[in-house]
Amino acid sequence: MSSPMPVAKDDLMERLASDVRERADGEKIVFVSGNFNILHPGHLRLFRFAAEQGNRLVVGVTADGTDGVSVRQDLRLQDVRAIGSVHDAIALSEPPERFIARLKPEYVVKGKEYLQLENPELSAVRSYGGTILFSSGEVRFSSIDRLQREYVTLEHSAIRKPADYPRRNGFRISDLALIPEKFRGLRVVVIGDLIIDEYINCEPLGMSREDPTLVVSPFENKRFVGGAGIVAAHARGLGAQVRLISIAGCDEVAEFGRQELSKLAVETEIIADASRPTTLKKRYRALGKTLLRVNHVRQHSIDATQQEALILAAETALGDADVLLFSDFNYGCLPQPIVDRLARFAVKRGIMMAADSQASSQMSDISRFKDMTLITPTEYEVRLALRENEAGLIVVADRLQRVCGAENVVITLGGEGMLLHAPRRGAYHTDRLPAFNSSPKDVSGAGDSFFATTTLALRAGFDIWQAAYLGSIAAACQVSRVGNTPLTAAELLMEVANPSNVLDEMGL
């Protein structure tokens, strides 16, 4: 018969159980325990399954000396705490069933292999009316860690930097390493539509037998700040001081945006509009591809009162600003009177301006942004603004420049790269850059990272040819991961300094 646990250990376990219950604050607790000498995909599946059964996952790590333990408890505990789905990891100094009796979790989860065995936890669970579940999770959950890496990890292997463009434009790639340091201290104001992007990863199950419909099962959701919010976050990540002025609904989506931007150290002035939901774009994905996009959006312009509130907030923020970025997604945040008034305000104070006006599922007109230092439309957006479907790219680039008075025009071409139309020695010159990333994982963030990086480089005093090249590196880094994770100056510098992927006309 085992000797009774020391009183001190009883007190500690009781206090830990009480603390977990207090943090749970009435939410359903799920408990899993084990040795966890080496965490493997089976454990991740089990944790993921357990986390879906309640609101708070608590994992008990057995004491040193328990049968089967071969790694110190503190090291095992550290590994378990690193798992994203685990809310509390407890260093057990007593058998799991005794701690269960203290904690009284709503669910206790054990692997399927224990179903036909004797389970000492069963009596403890029954004593307070809890439930014990037997499942080893599903194979699909082993992909969760891979998905998490895709959100944050840059894949540099697919990036190729052309060497001919720097030579003909009079700079070296290594010169670009000087630029990000000059971003520090720049004061940037971003005005435009706040968007939240939600990625819903699904397991494809097959085709419906009732109708020709693809059937999927969602297993992981992740939200990102998008729209003007991610433009602001990129600028902040690159080192600038940033303030975002925008419109959002009175809902939890807007609150998510505020909290995330606060974490990213972006100052925000988000005016509430009860007549619209905060724009939420859902992407259903399977096997690394987007199956369907669903947009929760209203596109009407903000009313006169909200326009005045936005203008007042913007003019206050622009009092000491270096750069004004219009990030227009055409969901009603930037009606023409706001654009015109703020542009006049910025011109009077010598504030550099740049604009990006996106059209995918909505209409746009990039030509309504006058006298910008930089505009970055897609080919479709240029042709839409000019109502021109037949003329060549150089012709439409020159015509757009004349119509809106932009100093520099960059037409982005997706996988074909971009066309630059900008002044050089008194005349307009045209050049082209290819796409730097040949195997993008998610192209949705390319334009925003290019726009923010290129504009900051121009404001830092570098010419458009250098700025666009640095912006292309930023876009290549951004599309190498999934979702809108803000780019940092360190990530950008790492790729600038990488000599192994410079592509010459004759190859690497």
DSSP for 188-240, written as a single string: EEEEE-EEEEEEEEEEEEEE-SSSS-EEEEEEEEEEEEEEHHHHHHHHHHTT-
For residue 19 the two structure tokens come to 């603390």
Instruction: Report the percentage of the chain scoring pLDDT > 70.
Output: 92
Strand order in the sheet with 131-134: 88-91, 56-61, 29-34, 107-110, 131-134
The answer on pLDDT for 421 being more than 80 is yes
User: Any idea where the domains of the chain sit in the sequence?
Assistant: 7-137, 146-503
Rounded Cα distance between 107 and 116, Å, is: 18
Strand-strand pairing, 374-375 and 408-412: parallel
The whole-number pLDDT of residue 45 equals 79
Give the integer Cα–Cα distance in Å for 222 and 305.
Answer: 34
With 0.75 as the threshold, say if the pTM is over it. no
Position 149 confidence tier, pLDDT thresholds 50, 70, 90: low
80 sits in which H/E element: helix 73-81
Report pLDDT digits (tens) over 262-310: 999 999 999 999 999 999 999 998 877 888 889 888 888 899 999 999 9
Average pLDDT rounded to a whole number, residues 140-156? 52
What does the pLDDT average to over 383-397?
87
Is the model's pLDDT at 140 over the cut of 70? no
Mind listing the pLDDT tens digit for each residue in 332-353? 899 999 999 999 999 999 999 9
Superfamily of domain 7-137: HUPs (3.40.50.620)
Higher-pLDDT residue of 263 and 83 is: 263
Name the pLDDT band for 7 (thresholds 50, 70, 90).
Answer: very low
Tell which CATH architecture fits domain 146-503: 3-Layer(aba) Sandwich (3.40)
What whole-number distance in Å separates Cα of residue 334 and Cα of residue 230? 17
Q: What is the DSSP letter of 441?
A: S
Q: Is the Cβ–Cβ distance between 303 and 247 less than 8 Å?
A: no
The pair of structure tokens assigned to 172 is: 């070296």
CA–CA separation, 432 and 450 (whole Å): 15
Tokens of 59: 């994992």
85 pLDDT band, cuts 50/70/90, is confident
Domain 7-137 and domain 146-503 have a common topology: no
Backbone angles phi, psi at 130, to 5 degrees: -85, -175
CA 42 from centre of chain: 28
How many angstroms separate the Cα of 294 from the Cα of each of 259, 281, 290, 311, 483?
A: 23, 6, 11, 31, 16
